[in-house]
């Protein structure tokens, strides 16, 4: 096992993996809150040093494996003394990707051994964030996130043609062969699991009924683990978004008349904009009263209720992944009254927006959030 390459799907190649033996108490104390005895082996968590820089800590019998440094999206800008670290370009991680990475580290930690690591070797204690090699490829990171947003968008719309072309471009644009080289099949399976999560959330936004979401997600999860060859896993992963897209096309908003489908598409494409009934009627070539009546007949919901529902789904995604404060999420989705946003969010999610965000920030994350 090459512990310097434990990064696979989560874009952590610009982070350093460093093993520090338990005897080196001074170094560990500066990065890890050691109280009394050495932590129990198998513990994996996020830690933050005194400057606000984060690391991932994985405890073994003989020492601690640290992955980092980085900051989470939405973290305050770290400081050392009076100097601001913004110019150092610390890698920024979404909470969902970090927690998925934590899940894999837990599996590795259970092995209780670190093959090839010499506990007696000298450990450099400098902070590697100051090294030029730590500068992330911002353009590539931005490109990946844009692709992910497009995949979510096309699944929610049930737009198979656009999604299929995007997946082809994605396969041509990225090579994952160097990630977790000693176990590439597991690496790609983990990528497939995350793809399944993205597909499920996007299909929910596209109107796929809950029982179909659950059935499809469970079936995909089972199929992923049944695969044994790298070729099969890669091919199946590329088909996962298409399965969700087809489900939305057949059972989601595409099951309505052309007028209502067009109205739903317009709403989904403009969740962050003001959506007026007059604009919606003009876009669909109808009038206000006809569109309102037809929409309720086909969906069982008023137009305003449908818009609120989709905006709350988008708010859930943003609270989990964007790192933006609750107020900013609400305002970006057109909720000028924060109390009203909190009230309807609680009605849909069962908890307040702040509690929902804190739940995923605190590590209560199973890789497939509801």
87-107 pLDDT, tens per residue? 345 666 777 667 766 766 666
- Tokens at residue 322, please? 């964007």
Same domain, 39 and 98: yes
Cα separation, 335 vs 79, whole angstroms: 33
Same domain, 315 and 294: no
Residue 129 lies in a domain: no
User: Kind of pairing, strands 92-93 and 63-72?
Assistant: parallel
Residue 35 lies in a domain: yes
Residue 53 lies in a domain: yes
Q: Region 336-341: what's the mean pLDDT?
A: 92
Same domain, 239 and 272: no
Residue 134 lies in a domain: no
Least confident of 94-98, 159-163, 265-269, 280-284: 94-98
Higher per-residue pLDDT: 242 or 79:
242
Cα separation, 137 vs 16, whole angstroms: 15
pLDDT (tens digit per residue) in 23-39: 665 556 655 555 556 66
- Tokens at residue 91, please? 């890698």
- Tokens at residue 118, please? 């010499």
For position 58, what pLDDT does the model report?
Answer: 78
Residue 123 lies in a domain: no
CA-angle at 179, arms to 20 and 362, nearest 5°: 60
Same domain, 261 and 357: no
Residue 130 lies in a domain: no
Same domain, 205 and 265: no
For position 126, what pLDDT does the model report?
Answer: 45
Cα separation, 312 vs 306, whole angstroms: 10
Question: Where does a domain end: 60, 83, 115?
Answer: 115
pLDDT (tens digit per residue) in 198-219: 899 899 888 887 777 888 999 8
Band of the pLDDT at 119, cuts 50, 70, 90? very low
Higher per-residue pLDDT: 233 or 62:
233
User: Kind of pairing, strands 16-21 and 79-80?
Assistant: unpaired
Cα separation, 33 vs 194, whole angstroms: 31
For position 79, what pLDDT does the model report?
Answer: 52
Highest mean pLDDT among 24-28, 180-184, 203-207, 334-338: 334-338
Higher per-residue pLDDT: 224 or 121:
224
For position 88, what pLDDT does the model report?
Answer: 45
Q: Is the pLDDT of residue 269 over 60?
A: yes
Residue 281 lies in a domain: yes
Highest mean pLDDT among 166-170, 300-304, 361-365: 300-304
Paired strand residues for 282: none
Same domain, 282 and 322: no
CATH number (domain holding residue 345): 1.10.10.60
Band of the pLDDT at 84, cuts 50, 70, 90? very low
Same domain, 94 and 144: no
Q: Is the pLDDT of residue 80 over 60?
A: no
Please say whether the beta carbons of 15 and 68 come within 8 A.
yes
For position 254, what pLDDT does the model report?
Answer: 62
For position 3, what pLDDT does the model report?
Answer: 35
DSSP 186: H
DSSP 237: H
Higher per-residue pLDDT: 57 or 197:
197
CA dihedral 254, 319, 147, 224 (to 10 degrees): -80
pTM for this model (two decimals):
0.43
Same domain, 179 and 246: yes
Which helix (H) or strand (E) is 17 found in, with range?
Answer: strand 16-21
Q: Which domain holds residue 68?
A: 3-115
Cα separation, 166 vs 216, whole angstroms: 22
Three-state secondary structure call for residue 67: strand
Same domain, 206 and 289: no
Q: Per the structure, how many domains does the chain have?
A: 4
How many other C-beta atoms lie within 10 A of the C-beta of residue 135? Answer: 13
Same domain, 62 and 149: no
Same domain, 101 and 171: no
Cα separation, 318 vs 325, whole angstroms: 9
Q: Is the pLDDT of residue 127 over 70?
A: no
Same domain, 54 and 16: yes
Question: Where does a domain end: 269, 300, 331?
Answer: 300
Residue 175 lies in a domain: yes
Three-state secondary structure call for residue 25: helix
């Amino acid at each position: 096992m090459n512990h310097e390459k434990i990064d696979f799907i989560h874009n952590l190649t610009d982070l350093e993996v460093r093993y520090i033996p338990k005897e080196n108490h001074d170094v560990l104390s500066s990065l890890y809150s050691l109280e009394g005895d050495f932590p129990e082996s198998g513990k994996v968590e996020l830690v933050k040093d005194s400057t606000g820089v984060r690391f991932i800590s994985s405890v073994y019998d003989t020492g601690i494996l640290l992955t980092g440094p980085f900051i989470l999206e939405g973290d305050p800008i770290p400081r050392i003394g009076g100097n601001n670290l913004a110019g150092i370009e610390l890698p920024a991680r979404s909470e969902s990707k970090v927690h998925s990475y934590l899940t894999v580290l837990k599996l590795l930690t259970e092995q209780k051994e670190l093959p090839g690591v010499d506990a007696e070797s000298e450990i450099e204690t400098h902070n590697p964030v100051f090294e030029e090699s730590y500068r992330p490829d911002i353009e590539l990171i931005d490109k990946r996130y844009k692709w992910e947003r497009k995949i979510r968008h096309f699944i929610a719309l049930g737009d198979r043609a656009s999604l299929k072309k995007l997946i082809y471009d994605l396969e041509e644009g990225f090579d994952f062969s160097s990630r977790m080289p000693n176990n590439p099949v597991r690496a790609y399976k983990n990528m497939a699991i995350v793809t399944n999560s993205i597909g499920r959330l996007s299909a929910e936004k596209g109107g796929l009924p809950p029982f179909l979401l659950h059935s499809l997600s469970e079936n995909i999860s089972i199929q992923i683990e049944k695969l044994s060859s790298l070729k099969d896993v890669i091919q199946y992963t590329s088909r996962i978004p298409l399965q969700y897209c087809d489900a939305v096309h057949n059972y989601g908003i595409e099951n309505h008349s052309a007028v209502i489908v067009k109205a739903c598409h317009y709403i989904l494409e403009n969740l962050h904009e003001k959506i007026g009934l007059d604009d919606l009627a003009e876009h669909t070539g109808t009038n206000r009263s006809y569109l309102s009546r037809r929409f309720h007949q086909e969906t069982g919901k008023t137009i305003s209720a449908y818009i609120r529902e989709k905006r709350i789904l988008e708010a859930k995604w943003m609270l989990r992944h964007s790192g933006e404060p609750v107020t900013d999420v609400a305002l970006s989705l057109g909720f000028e009254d924060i109390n009203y946003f909190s009230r309807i969010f609680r009605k849909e999610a069962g908890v307040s927006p702040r509690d929902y965000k804190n739940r995923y920030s605190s590590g209560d994350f199973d890789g497939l959030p509801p």
